[in-house]
Amino acid sequence: MKVLHVVGARPNFMKAAPVLAALERRKVEQVLVHSGQHYDDDMSKVFFEELDLPKPDANLGVGPGTHAFQTAEVMKRLEPVLEAERPRLVLVYGDVNSTVAAALVACKLQIPVGHVEAGLRSFDRTMPEEINRVLTDRISELLFVHCAGARSNLVKEGVEENKLHLVGNVMIDTLVRILPMARGRPVLEELGLTQTAYGLVTLHRPSNVDDARRLRRVARVLKRIADELPLVFPVHPRTRARLREAGIEMDDRRLRLLGPTGYYDFLCLEANARAVITDSGGVQEETTYLGVPCFTLRRNTERPITMTHGTNRLVGDSIEDLPGEVLDASRNGGEEHRIPPYWDGKAADRIADVVVQQYG
Sign of CA dihedral 267, 269, 272, 274: negative
CA-atom Rg of the chain in angstroms: 20
SS (H, E, C) 279-346: CCHHHHHHHHHHCCCEEECCCCCCCCHHHHCCCEEECCCCHHHHHHHHHHHHHHCCCCCCCCCCCCCC
34 is annotated as an active-site residue: no
Burial class, 134, CB count within 10 angstroms (exposed 0-12 / middle 13-18 / buried 19+): middle
Q: Which residue among 204, 236, 309, 337 is the active-site one?
A: 204
Do 329 and 149 form a contact (C-beta atoms < 8 A)?
no
**CA-to-CA separations, 205 to 127, 153, 175, 298, 320, in angstroms, rounded:** 9, 24, 23, 9, 19
- Give the separation between CA 75 and CA 77, rounded to whole angstroms: 6
DSSP 8-state class, residue 109: T
Provide the annotated active-site residues.
Answer: 204
